[in-house]
Structure 1
Amino acid sequence: MGAAVAGSLLIATSASAAEPRLMAALGNTILTMTDIGPKHTQVSVDDKPVFEDKESEMLSFVGAYSLKERWIALFQADTGAKDCPTRFRIIEVGGPQPVVSYPFGSCSDAAQVTIDNDMLTVSMPQPAGGGEAAWTYRNGKIGRTK
């Protein structure tokens, strides 16, 4: 079992399918990612399931980002599809209840995250060299900005 510590973020990983694959302390909240079965990953906040991915080959934790009193967890879903192999999803914790975004992205796995005040932007290349695409998360909503 490995662990990484960055400020108030603690991440522990485990290889056992019976135990959570990832546990992260985001402020006073515990985010857990558990593989239930093939193509079935559950994400819980303080032991309450908030999202179940039943479509992706693999759901991965990209990182956690602090925005004022909230935490934003970014996840990457590897779909296994040739036309769009990667999508992203955000789970926000620290408010009255967790907020889960819809899947977004240009199908690229080369995401770059920037934070400006209360706004998080995820940028990545578009397919076939079409320049850069960007999605901005603010006030519980994700929207394409570029």
Structure 2
Amino acid sequence: MIAALPAQAAEPRLTAALGNTILTMTDVGPKHVRVSVDDTPIFDDTESEALSFVGAYSLKDRWIALFQADSGTKDCPTRFRIIEIGGPKPVVSYPFGSCSDAAQVTIDGDTLTVSMPVPAGGGDAAWTYRGGRIARTR
């Protein structure tokens, strides 16, 4: 008789307390990272070569977590994603960015703006997150 051993849960690579909420990032397998809020999975990244936590930012009664996804490709090596915590349920943004990894974050009231250079055309680009939505503003 062969006895099956219980599967071992992966240990989180990142655990962060954001207000009264615990955000975790766990490597589930190759090219598979799970982001959870209070032990509830909210996002599985299965496309990136690497997913990194950039930082957490307080916007009034909510927290915004910024993640960087590295694709491993030359045409667009980096994109970003926002997870908002503090509302009725977490909100996960679509990927955004100019393919540059040189992001700068500014906060003005209940608005978070992520700015970065545009590698191909020069200049800057910016995406603004407000009210659960991300939009390019420059």
Instruction: Supply the RMSD in Å over aligned alpha carbons.
Output: 1.0
2:135: which partner in 1?
Answer: 143
**Given the alignment, which residue of 39, 44, 52 partners 2:44?**
52
Separation in 2, partners of 1:94, 1:128: 36
Matched, 1:98 2:90: yes
1:5: which partner in 2?
Answer: none
**Given the alignment, which residue of 51, 62, 67 partners 1:75?**
67
Amino acid at match of 2:56: A
Separation in 1, partners of 2:27, 2:121: 35
Amino acid at match of 1:75: F
Amino acid at match of 2:16: A
Gaps of 5+ in 1: 1-16
**Given the alignment, which residue of 33, 37, 49 partners 2:25?**
33
Deviation, structure 1 residue 130: 1.7
Q: Which has the larger radius of gyration?
A: 2
Separation in 2, partners of 1:46, 1:140: 20
Deviation, structure 1 residue 129: 4.7
Deviation, structure 1 residue 128: 2.7
TM-score scaled by structure 1?
0.87
Aligned length: 130
Matched, 1:131 2:86: no
1:42: which partner in 2?
Answer: 34
Matched, 1:86 2:65: no
- Find the residue that maps to 1:115 and give its secondary structure: strand
Greater than 3 Å deviation, 4+ residue runs? none
TM-score scaled by structure 2?
0.92
**Given the alignment, which residue of 49, 55, 69 partners 1:63?**
55
Gaps of 5+ in 2: 1-8
After superposition, residues 1-12 of structure 1 pair within 5 angstroms as none
